[in-house]
Amino acid sequence: MLLNVENLNVVIPTQGGPLHAVQDVSFNVSKGETLCIVGESGCGKSVTALSLLGLLPKSATRSASRMTFDGKDMITMSDKQIRALRGDRLSMIFQEPMTALNPLHTLGRQLTDVYMAHRRGDRKEARERAVYLLERVGIARAAERLGQYPHELSGGLRQRVVIAMALMCEPELIVADEPTTALDVTIQAELLRLLAELQKSMGLGMIMITHDLGLVSRIADRVVVMYAGQVIENAPAKELFENPKHPYTRALLGSVPNPSHPRMQPLPSIPGTVPSLVQKMEGCHFRDRCELASEECRVSIPLLEVGTEHAARCIKAEPETSVARSAVP
Amino acid sequence: MSEDSILSLANVTHDFKRRRALTGPSPLIRAVEDVSFDVRKGDILGIVGESGSGKTTLAKIMLGLLPPTQGEVLLDGTPIAKMPRKRIAERIQFIFQDPYSSLNPRQSVGQIVAYPLYLRGQENAAERDKKARELLDIVGLSSRFFDAYPSQMSGGQRQRVAIARALITRPDLLICDEPTSALDVSVQSQVLNLLLELREEFGLTYVMISHNMAVIQHMTTHVAVMFLGRIVEMDTSEKVFQTPQHPYTQLLLSSTLSVEQGAGVPDLNVDADARRAMRDHPSYVTQRV
């Protein structure tokens, strides 16, 4: 087990009161595994990622009953210890490559800085590693690129540089927060393929944060679905797409336009909007938008086992009987 | 130009001047090259293409906001270059991508929606308010939003306000530039459903720009694929999606990640040679008869 998170909570103070951005979130990532955290805006997926990296805003408070990276306790780690880990064994890729790169420094400078901050190598070694990685991420004439500035590159190339930078110190876990949403679809496919390849050859664990279910279906080993601060479903990817249990997961999958819907006919959609997380909500967070909701949904609902390694936060999601399971080819 | 076309473009080309170096001539960037098509009544024309392919420039030209360097845009047979701005605005309206920046944060929803009527100056304040409330009701916002401000609303609600504002003067043609790409999927389908309903109700015609191929496939009757400023393929959406002809269209379709568990990420293998081949490949534009 590379990363183990249990009952992670993040509270951010706002003018209207404390905002419970992340509530009792638990998940695990193993070496070589891709975990996708999927959800709509405001569900807490990015805050979860930032809290793993120790990058939450100063005013936010994080608590967890357990949070370990390769057996080391991350809860009690000092800022300095987290900083030593971040960029070295635990690295990240952000959504917008233009803001992730410093416009005032050359690519070479930025790539080698990461290396030199964590390894006691010299700049020459670092440059060699940078050239090697830029070539690995598919950038031609890598040695020349080191002297360039971020504005001289297209968005796709910049994101490749960010990926190379994340790999500078041979990390074990990469946290990628919507790494391809700012890019064209053709470039998105190329980059995802590259990431998957690198991950396989280097045995990396990856947490991919996204709202794109199409993307999730293509790369995930395991999926965590979040809604309004909570994990509402956690399952192996195959199981989640073939047999979604939570009404929200099912509704979300149904509302993605796809060729099997009759064209120009209404798509299924989810009525209403996401509840505010400022007041702590009792009971199922989805109940106001759920067609199955009843009085019983007003009490707080734990994640329930509904299948093999498959959990859903819904009392209406019945666990499968062995008969039903064997009926699936 | 055919009988029932609302808007037609004839050999439209647009060059942007690039800032020149200290001396010498200013280089030109050709954003749109030799684009011709008709938008007919009842069509939903989708325009797809990568960023920088000229989609938004083309939208601005269709709205009359940007005069083309060459070629002509005809609205009901009249060149829009010769029409006053207000007359164009009565026929063609626009929905922007980002509902967070397209609404004035200091105006209430009622003011925002009624503003086009105010500019037209045919109704008094009470009539304008009444119509604005009607439109809010049509786009599915309760009238309690009339006095609300955009900051109090979600992305989907704001996009409904933008749609209400676009429809209040009862235009014929609505140009939607990425109308749902800033929205979550569950809200996206609400807005798409609304656009389809309104089309029936008001007999609208849409031009829809998007990079989301699934949305375009679901929503459009015709598709134009843009690549490096040119339309490289244009036909009914069934044909474009079922039998794409141009290599760029094929690439675009194969790189779309639909929900398909276990399918993996497609290997596109687009190198410089492949891009050059796509650039030099002839276009497949089916002119409708």
| B188 in A contact zone (CB under 8 Å) | yes
Residue B114 inside a domain? The answer is no
Among B184, B259, B264, whose Cβ lies nearest the Cβ of A41? B184
Residue B194 inside a domain? The answer is no
When scoring A218, A219, A248, A252 by the number of chain B Cβ atoms within 10 A, the one with the most, hence best to mutate, is A218
Q: Please give the biggest Cα pair distance in chain B.
A: 63
For the domain that residue B247 is a member of, what is the CATH number? 3.40.50.300
Inter-chain touch A186–B50, beta carbons under 8 Å: yes
Is residue A321 within 8 A of residue A328, CB to CB? The reply is no
Residue B258 inside a domain? The answer is yes
Domain boundaries, chain A: 3-226
CA distance B154 to chain A (A): 8
The pLDDT of residue B52 is: 84
Q: Least CA distance to B241: which residue of chain A?
A: A259
Residue B229 inside a domain? The answer is yes
Give the DSSP letter of residue B145: G
| B89 in A contact zone (CB under 8 Å) | no
pLDDT tens, residue by residue, B116-130: 999 988 999 999 999
| A235 in B contact zone (CB under 8 Å) | no
pLDDT tens, residue by residue, B252-272: 999 999 898 888 898 887 777
Residue B11 inside a domain? The answer is yes
Residue B206 inside a domain? The answer is no
Q: What pLDDT tens digit does each residue of chain B (289 aa) get?
A: 566 889 999 999 999 987 766 777 778 889 999 999 999 999 999 999 988 899 989 999 999 999 999 999 999 989 999 999 889 999 999 998 888 899 999 999 999 999 999 998 899 999 999 999 999 999 999 888 999 999 988 888 999 999 999 999 999 999 999 999 888 888 899 999 999 999 999 999 999 999 889 999 999 999 999 999 999 999 999 999 999 999 999 999 999 998 988 888 988 877 778 888 888 888 888 766 4
Residue B127 inside a domain? The answer is no
| B213 in A contact zone (CB under 8 Å) | yes
Inter-chain touch B257–A217, beta carbons under 8 Å: yes
When scoring B265, B267, B268, B269 by the number of chain A Cβ atoms within 10 A, the one with the most, hence best to mutate, is B265
| A308 in B contact zone (CB under 8 Å) | no
Domain count, chain B: 1
CA distance A117 to chain B (A): 34
CA distance B161 to chain A (A): 16
| B242 in A contact zone (CB under 8 Å) | no
Compute the distance between CA of residue A197 and CA of residue A206 in angstroms, rounded to an integer: 12
B residues 142-181 closer than 8 Å to A (CB): 154-157
Task: Tell me the two tokens of residue B18.
Answer: 């690039």
The pLDDT of residue A319 is: 64
| B186 in A contact zone (CB under 8 Å) | yes
**B44 interaction partners in chain A (CB closer than 8 Å):** 264
**Judging by DSSP bridges, how do beta strands A72-73 and A90-93 pair with one another?**
unpaired
Q: Residue A240 carries which side chain, given as an amino acid letter?
A: L
**Closest Cα partner for B63 from B82, B30, B26, B91?**
B91
Inter-chain touch B261–A196, beta carbons under 8 Å: no
Compute the distance between CA of residue B218 and CA of residue B44 in angstroms, rounded to an integer: 11
Inter-chain touch A217–B261, beta carbons under 8 Å: yes
Q: What pLDDT tens digit does each residue of chain A (329 aa) get?
A: 899 999 999 999 998 899 999 999 999 999 999 999 999 888 999 999 999 999 999 999 999 999 999 999 999 999 999 999 998 999 999 888 778 899 999 999 999 999 999 988 889 999 999 999 999 888 888 999 999 999 998 888 899 999 999 999 989 999 999 998 878 888 899 889 989 988 989 999 999 999 999 999 999 999 999 999 999 999 999 999 999 999 999 999 999 988 888 889 999 988 887 888 888 888 999 999 998 999 999 999 999 999 999 999 999 886 654 444 433 43
Q: Which CATH superfamily is domain A3-226 in?
A: P-loop containing nucleotide triphosphate hydrolases (3.40.50.300)
Among A212, A237, A255, whose Cβ lies nearest the Cβ of B186? A255
Expressed as residue numbers, the domain containing B255 is: 5-83+221-285
Inter-chain touch B265–A268, beta carbons under 8 Å: no
Q: Residue B144 carries which side chain, given as an amino acid letter?
A: R
Is residue A299 within 8 A of residue A282, CB to CB? The reply is yes
Compute the distance between CA of residue B137 and CA of residue B149 in angstroms, rounded to an integer: 17
